[in-house]
Amino acid sequence: MASSMQSTQQTTVTGDSGSYRFALVSLTSLFFMWGFITCLNDILIPHLKAVFSLNYTEAMLIQFCFFGAYFLVSLPAGKLVKKLGYQKGIVTGLVIACIGCLLFYPAAAFATYGLFLGALFVLASGITILQVAANPYVNALGSVETASSRLNLTQAFNALGTTVAPFFGAVLILSVASGAVEGLSQAQSEAEVVKLPYLILAAMLGLLALIFSKLNLPTIAEHSDDSATGVITHNGKTSALQSMHLGLGAVGIFVYVGAEVSIGSFLVNFLGEEQVAGLQEAEAAKYITYYWGGAMIGRFVGSVIMQKISAGTLLAFNAFVAAALVLVAMNSTGAVAMWSILAVGLFNSIMFPTIFSLALRDLGPHTSQGSGILCLAIVGGAIVPLLQGVMADSMGLQVAFILPVVCYAFILFYGAKGSRM
């Protein structure tokens, strides 16, 4: 099936194989940065929850605003990238993300939760444009057969960012906040500690924007918007929405991001539960490194394994094991519960890039549109954690983890069957 479609679709790239490699190496820095930034939310949640005395539902508004940006910005971002091209789209995303980081300064200065949420929304809007531009670009820089492997490799550097971020956040945010002064100035004093980390991130994003504006990256000719009429037919389809595997893939991205973000968002509080580990916030935050570190290792290993095993089969297997581990964590205590939930990261590892590449398979000139739809589905990171927050407030934190189990059940279906429909 894939080989027959491949004969009708050849991706044309301006540049030689050396420019392929250079482009992939350059893009790894982007994957690292947005992984780092996204994972810092897992540190912000317990920090701002304590600063502003929030319940679980209110604290999950952090993820709601961050991932809600994907829902509002993804489709316009797809059109923007199709018009500007991948490289200029990347630069635009970096600039907007930089502005979002800078907005943390006034949010901290005024110690206002609403301003933090607004800054997160702007930051996430930039990250959304990066996702829409970079993921399909990596997918196109080589053969269709190795697309999942290639995207898993670059996503491994995304996971490296998520592995480093918890330690960075624990040291520069939670540990510093624990020494905040008592009294009326406590909220403002604790809010202030986020200024330095996000100013550093703003500087790094600004530098990356400058670098990418100067790079000479290859152009994906097949994905360029060079049609005067605006109606393009590929494999008998005039829109990415006519491909069932893309629609199901969008649902897969929704539930995957929802499950991953939910688990990561509640980890610090889960490990702080007396029946689990009873850890203080700053100490518990360091254990998040194991969760995201597992994802990093799994993506490096997965990029090799998928050279031999079909992407769909491996996706189904990982979803099954992830669901089983969450169920163990829900129904146990102590070290068993702690390490079971942390081990989920290892099996989460290949899910996002694999679902993404399977869903974009053979979309040709509709790839930018398809990428926008998939990034739209990342709004699962806004909806699922909020729902789990409501469940945690009413049913208890440990029981609320049943929601990610349901998410993994759909991913198992998509890997086993849905991606071939």
pLDDT tens, position by position, 250-264: 999 999 999 999 999
In 141-280, alpha helices (H)? 147-169, 175-177, 186-192, 195-214, 244-272
Q: Let me know the angle formed at the C-alpha of 228 by 222 and 232, rounded to the nearest 5 degrees.
A: 50
Task: For residue 144, name the pLDDT band (cuts at 50, 70, 90).
Answer: low
Report pLDDT for 226: 46
- Give the pLDDT confidence score for residue 113 in this predicted structure: 93
Q: What percent of the chain has pLDDT over 90?
A: 41
Check whether 412 has a pLDDT greater than 80.
yes
pLDDT for residue 301: 86
pLDDT recorded at residue 410: 96
pLDDT tens digits, residue range 329-373? 999 999 999 999 999 999 998 898 889 888 887 776 667 678 778
Q: Which two tokens stand for residue 43?
A: 């540190």
Highest-confidence segment of 146-155, 238-247, 258-267, 278-287: 258-267
Is the model's pLDDT at 143 over the cut of 90? no
Among the residue ranges 11-20, 56-65, 200-209, the one predicted with the least confidence is 11-20
Tell me the pLDDT band of 231, cut-offs 50, 70 and 90: low
pLDDT at 5 over 50: no
Check residue 328 and give its pLDDT: 97
Residue 124 predicted with pLDDT over 60:
yes
Single out the residue of 368, 360, 352 nearest to residue 318, CA to CA. 352
Q: Give the pLDDT confidence of 203-214 residue by residue, as tens digits.
A: 999 999 998 898
**Class of the 16-220+241-420 domain?**
mainly alpha
What are the distances in angstroms from CA 319 to CA 38, 130, 330?
22, 26, 17
**pLDDT score recorded for residue 371:** 74
Q: What's the rounded Cα separation, in Å, for the pair 349 and 321?
A: 12
Total residue count of the chain as it appears in this document: 421
pLDDT of residue 133: 86
**The predicted structure's pLDDT at residue 278:** 93
Residue 279 CA, distance from chain mean position: 26
The domain limits of the chain are 16-220+241-420
Q: Name the residue among 242, 223, 261, 278 with its Cα closest to residue 351.
A: 261
> What pLDDT digit, counting tens, does each position of 379-397 carry?
899 999 999 999 999 999 9
Structure tokens at 219: 């152009």
- The per-residue pLDDT for 257 is 94
pTM of the model as a whole = 0.81
pLDDT of residue 307: 82
Q: How far apart are the first and last CA of the chain?
A: 11
The larger pLDDT score, comparing residue 334 to residue 82, is at 334
Mean pLDDT to the nearest integer, 102-115: 92
319: left (phi > 0), else alpha (psi -120 to 50), else beta?
A: alpha
Mean pLDDT of 158-164: 84
